[in-house]
Structure 1
Amino acid sequence: MKKIGIIPLRKDSKGIPGKNKKKMVGRPLFSWILTEALFSDLDVVYVFTNDTEIIDFIEREYHWTTKVKAMLRNEENANDTASTESTMLEFSEKINHEYDILCLLQATSPLTLATDINNGLEKISKEKYDASLSVVKTHRFTWNGNGTPQNYDVFNRPRRQDFEGLLIENGAVYCTTKDSFLKSKNRVSGNIGLVEMPEETLMEIDSLSDWQIVENLLMERQKSMKSNQRIQYLVLDVDGVFTDGGIYYNEEGEFAKKFDMRDGMGLEILRQNNVEVVVLTSENSKLVAQRMKKLQIQDAFLGVKDKYAFLKHFLVTKNSSFEAVAYVGDDVNDLANICSSGWSFAPANATPIVKLNADFVLGAASGAGAIREVCETILKYNKRYD
């Protein structure tokens, strides 16, 4: 069965301007659901948008996979009054209905995981439902506008442990067969299966206060998934980690960066102790490329904006995981990896948000022995696994 995912994105958002591109934990909001979709059982994932900046970003940042495609949607289906169903129908027509299962994913549900997507797909592919949708179980008591209770007896208030609760749509994942969708022109129809997700995924992002709550939930979730094991990879940012964050310019552009020679020796010793060194930077600098070549770091990836997605892809190719990673970063674009890696370090002069969420704040500043300190810490830590 061909399983296609669609993430519809509009350019404009009135509640939170530019919401889909706004950075959540250092990444564009839409990239959270996109990354999970890429590592799910979906065969292809389409980002369907009228925002050409997003299309350019996807084509530039996700060159490492053929699984994601960006497609331009019609403006009339991207206004405030257009329904999601009309957008899905437009998309289905544009790809000539070439799918067996269509999966609608919402960018405003960044807490969705690949397992949630897979569970929705399996309701159709294995359990033979016509459609599926994600729900959250809540133990709230609900009321009608006329002052009457909907789901309990006020004179016999049940205890939480005795109350089955309610299942509420959280708007995260919808799956449907092609036949059901084209017949009903609705995201779910026929025999519908339910996929339960954690209660916190019910949170919607309609205001800046919602945004802050969901962002904190996302960071805490990533941290809760950490576990301890031997460190196999040291992953490093460059500016603000290898260097002090300063750049020297002349009329021809960038011409100098300062690196600490002691860091280089620390990395050499680390490699001799079977820890691979990986460099991941958003800048595409010839000076950095030269320095990495000098340090004999083969896995040096320059010009990577979505560091979390790329690192996840890299680890999959190595049959490894974030638990085996020690990550060093200094700014918000490192934050997702700081929260997700088995061990995370922030130089003494990193930004406050990174230092707040890192496992360790180093005594040394970037470009002044921070990497050497990390290397020595990892060597001591890994001894317990030798």
Structure 2
Amino acid sequence: MKKIGLIPLRKNSKGIPGKNKKKMVGRPLFSWVLTEAIFSELDQVYVFTDDLEIIAFIEKEYSWTSKVIPILRNEENASDTASTESAMLEFSEKINHNYSVLCLLQATSPLTLATDINIALEKITKESYDGVVSVVKTHRFIWGKEGEPINYDVFNRPRRQDFEGLLIENGAVYCTTKAAFIDSKNRVSGKIGLVEMAEETLMEIDSLSDWDSIETLLINRQKSKKQNQRIDFLVLDVDGVFTDGCVYYSQDGEMAKKFDMRDGMGLEILRQNNVEVVALTSEDSKLVAQRMKKLQIENTFLGVKDKYSFLKHFIASRNSSFAAVAYVGDDVNDLTNICSVGWSFAPANAVDVVKMNADIVLSHHSGNGAIRETCEMIMKYNKRYEMSRSEK
């Protein structure tokens, strides 16, 4: 049974211009649900968009997986007046209806998790539903415009703990069988099952204040998942961590970057104590490649824009978890990783939002001992961790 995901994206947005590409916790908005879809039980995930920039981004950033496929969407079905169903029908026809289950995922629901997607899929594949819709339980008392209560008796007002509440569609996940979709031409039909998601997922992104609220929820969610164990991996940004953040240019292009020689010794000592070092940078620089080779950092990944998704893939390939990772970053594109790993560090001269969310703000600046300081802290932490484990 082939299970596919569909993430429809429009290039233009009236409420928040360029919303789908706008950075949320340092990542494009659409990448949040896309990453969860990649690590779900879906067999393939299609991004259906009229935005060529997004297509190019996906082809480059997710080359590490064959699961993600971008497809160009007709302008006609990407207008403000076009329905989501019209886009779904166009998409289904473009792939010759090659699926058994179609799962519609909305980029504007970045709080969606792989577990939510998997539960929806199970409703169809194991419980024989024709369609599934995600909902949120609310304990609000609902009124009609004529002043009539909709869901309770005003003379017998229930206590919150005794009130069943209402289930409200949150617009995050919809699943349908191929037969039901082709017959009804609607995102859900037939026997419909429900997937209850967390209450905060009801929030929609219609304004910048909504954006800020959801960004805070995402940061707190990532931090709440943090766990501590022995550090097996040290992942380092390059510019603003290895270097002082400055790049020197000549008329021929990039000419020089400044690195601190003492960092190399700290990394060598870490490797001798079975901590693997990884360089992960959004820049694609020959100078950086040469320096990482000199430092014998075999796991050097250049030109990575979606650092969180790539790191999640890297960790999974090592059969490990974020808890085993220490991360050093200095700017907003490091923010999601800063909030997610076991231990996160920010150089003293990192941007404020990174320092605010890092576990430890280092006393040294980038390119001036920050990495060496991190190495020494990790050595001490691992030693204490291993001693505490041996005493149990």
Would the TM-score normalized by the shorter structure come out above 0.5?
yes
The alpha-carbon deviation at position 325 of structure 1 amounts to 0.5
What are the Cα deviations for residues 146-193 of structure 1, in whole angstroms up to 9, with x where unaligned? 001000111111001000111001100000000000001100001111
Structure 1: how far apart are the matches of 2:175 and 2:86?
16
1:152 and 2:147 correspond: no
Structure-2 residue corresponding to 1:58: 58
Structure 2: how far apart are the matches of 1:148 and 1:324?
55
Structure 1: how far apart are the matches of 2:316 and 2:348?
31
Structure 1: how far apart are the matches of 2:260 and 2:72?
46
Structure-1 residue corresponding to 2:242: 242
In the TM superposition, 1:1-386 aligns within 5 A as: 1-386=1-386
What are the Cα deviations for residues 208-233 of structure 1, in whole angstroms up to 9, with x where unaligned? 00000000000100000101111110
2:195 match: secondary structure: strand
Equivalent AA in structure 2 for residue 301 of structure 1: F
1:155 match: secondary structure: helix
Structure 2: how far apart are the matches of 1:385 and 1:299?
25
Equivalent AA in structure 2 for residue 332 of structure 1: V
Structure 1: how far apart are the matches of 2:17 and 2:112?
22
What are the Cα deviations for residues 318-373 of structure 1, in whole angstroms up to 9, with x where unaligned? 00111110000000000010011111000000000100111110000000100011
The alpha-carbon deviation at position 385 of structure 1 amounts to 3.2
What are the Cα deviations for residues 27-78 of structure 1, in whole angstroms up to 9, with x where unaligned? 0000000000000000000000000000010011111010000000111100
What are the Cα deviations for residues 195-246 of structure 1, in whole angstroms up to 9, with x where unaligned? 0100000000000000000000001000001011111100000000000000
The alpha-carbon deviation at position 384 of structure 1 amounts to 2.5
Structure 2: how far apart are the matches of 1:247 and 1:48?
38
1:11 match: secondary structure: coil
The alpha-carbon deviation at position 301 of structure 1 amounts to 0.3
Structure 2: how far apart are the matches of 1:27 and 1:385?
33
Structure 1: how far apart are the matches of 2:202 and 2:230?
36
- Listed as ranges, the gaps of 5+ residues in structure 2 are 387-392
Equivalent AA in structure 2 for residue 341 of structure 1: V
The alpha-carbon deviation at position 258 of structure 1 amounts to 0.8
1:204 match: secondary structure: coil
% identical equivalent positions: 79
The alpha-carbon deviation at position 8 of structure 1 amounts to 0.1
Query: So what's the TM-score if we normalise by structure 1?
Result: 0.99
Aligned length, in residue pairs: 386
2:155 match: secondary structure: coil
What are the Cα deviations for residues 283-339 of structure 1, in whole angstroms up to 9, with x where unaligned? 011111011001000000001011001000000100011111000000000001001
Equivalent AA in structure 1 for residue 65 of structure 2: T
Query: So what's the TM-score if we normalise by structure 2?
Result: 0.98
Structure 1: how far apart are the matches of 2:208 and 2:43?
34
Structure 2: how far apart are the matches of 1:199 and 1:148?
25
1:183 match: secondary structure: helix
Structure 2: how far apart are the matches of 1:73 and 1:288?
38
Structure 2: how far apart are the matches of 1:43 and 1:326?
31
Greater than 2 Å deviation, 4+ residue runs: none
- Listed as ranges, the gaps of 5+ residues in structure 1 are none
